[in-house]
Amino acid sequence: MNILQAIVLGIVQGLTEFLPISSSAHLRFLPAILGWEDPGAAFTAIIQIGTLIAVLLYFAKDIASITEAVVSGILRGKPFDTTEAKTGWMIAVGTLPIVLFGLLFKKDIETTLRSLYWVSASMILLAILLSIAERHTRTRSQQGLRGKSIHEIGWKEAIVIGLAQAIALIPGSSRSGVTITGGLFMNLDRETAARYSFLLSIPSVFAAGIYELYKTRAEIMATTQNMVDIAVATLCAGIVGYLSIAFLLNYLRRHTTTIFIAYRLLVGTALIVLIATGKLQP
């Protein structure tokens, strides 16, 4: 990898991590199209630390409020006494499925599931699911029912969205895409589904990033160039990721996810055509 590739991949990570179009898919097929080597699942996990920092900065007040409420609740012996404290515990419970499945299928995630066959199929199938979720939301709106706010999320919603997040282990599915889809099916409004999706990502992205950073520390520190590439990619991911969060939350206040559904279908179909015609190796 050279510095230009690191910058491009960092920007792609930051742009696609929060939009429901899959960062792992783009980091898999874009290098293949450009003739670059696959950066690998470890590289993807590490530069996600940049987008994690973007989430921490953007939602600093919410995170501080939730953390304070959880600690205060534990000290007072009333862990679920406030909405913020309950939200913190629900995020913790919602993180368990992706940790469990991530450990169980770690080898497949890093090898077999990175096949462009899986990526293209995930892009298309999750677009269809998101489309069905959007139809569900529109039907409720036509019936005069409003979407739930983040303070109305209960344990059932937290568990379902947490299970949905585990699907994001398959490249092409999109962490934000599957959690927003789960949120819409659980009757959250679009902005709330996205906001909760971002907060839910914090523990798992942090754990995956730190683990891969520790595991590959010898390779990263082998040369100065490796360290520079990782640092540059992570920085670019963080800056662009922060802007992506602001864009998506603002966009979903007034729009549906239709544009992202169309994009997923287009990219997924294009990948299948490129593979079928031998222009891209799976």
- Determine what percent of the chain falls in helix, strand and coil, rounding each to the nearest 5: 80, 0, 20
How many CB atoms are located within 10 Å of the residue 20 CB? 27
Residues with Cβ within 8 Å of 182's Cβ and at least 6 positions away in sequence, in order, are 160, 161, 163, 164, 165, 193
Domain range annotation of the chain = 3-276
> Cα(157)–Cα(173) distance, rounded to whole angstroms?
20
Cβ atoms of 238 and 48 within 8 Å: the answer is no
> Cα(198)–Cα(15) distance, rounded to whole angstroms?
14
**Cα angle vertex 262, ends 260, 265, to 5°?**
110
| 188: β partners | 148
Residue 155: closest CA among 186, 197, 193: 186
In angstroms, the first-to-last Cα distance of the chain is 21
Residue 28: closest CA among 165, 171, 124, 170: 171
Q: What is the pTM of this model?
A: 0.89
Per-residue pLDDT of the chain (282 residues; tens, 9 = 90+): 788 999 999 999 999 989 999 888 888 888 888 888 878 777 777 888 899 999 999 999 999 999 999 999 999 989 898 999 999 999 999 999 999 998 898 888 878 888 889 999 999 999 999 999 999 999 999 999 988 988 889 999 999 999 999 999 998 888 999 999 999 999 999 999 999 999 999 998 888 878 877 877 777 777 788 888 889 999 999 999 999 999 999 999 999 999 999 999 999 999 999 999 988 888
Name the DSSP letter for residue 188. B
pLDDT tens per residue, range 219-275: 777 778 888 888 999 999 999 999 999 999 999 999 999 999 999 999 999 999 999
